[in-house]
Amino acid sequence: MPEGSNSAPGFAKHPNYTLDKNAAGKRICVTFNDVVIADSERVLVLTEMGQGPVYYFPQDDVAMDRLTRTDNDSFCGFKGKASYWSVTVGEQVAENAVWSYETPFDEFTDFTEYLAFYWDRMDSWQEDGVTVDNAS
């Protein structure tokens, strides 16, 4: 990478680590407390070495008015710093249930302005209209 780039330091330490990025190729819908929180045909799927697939939704296809940014953050040496949101519908709140890499490392820029959800913090997931239990 050119000097001054924003390359992920994790790959220097673990050059064989893999992050597979693909289009989901189907419509994915997530609900919480009977309200659709995300619904998109433009979902990206990230399969990270040693972990199950994670769906990332374009911000435009997420009910951002149901999300509240929190002070929580985390760091990944391959993706960057993640910011978190809680989901609120009525009296129900899913704390820190959504995350995004708003300024990711160069290798992960395809996911800028995309958000991911913890499967177990949402009430239901559908793939092309069929309810699924998890992404695997």
Mean pLDDT of the chain: 93
Q: Could you tell me the domains of the chain?
A: 9-132 (2.170.150.40)
Contact between 99 and 85 (Cβ < 8 Å) = yes
Question: What residues are paired with 13 via a beta bridge?
Answer: none
- pLDDT tens sequence across 101-114: 999 999 999 999 99
Q: What's the pTM value of the predicted model, to 2 decimals? A: 0.92
**pLDDT, position 133:** 85
Least confident of 13-22, 27-36, 115-124: 13-22
Distance, CA of 55 to chain centre: 6
If you average pLDDT over residues 116-126, what whole number do you get?
Answer: 97
For residue 87, give the nearest of 95, 75, 76 by alpha carbon: 95
DSSP-derived pairing of the beta strands 80-89 and 67-76:
antiparallel
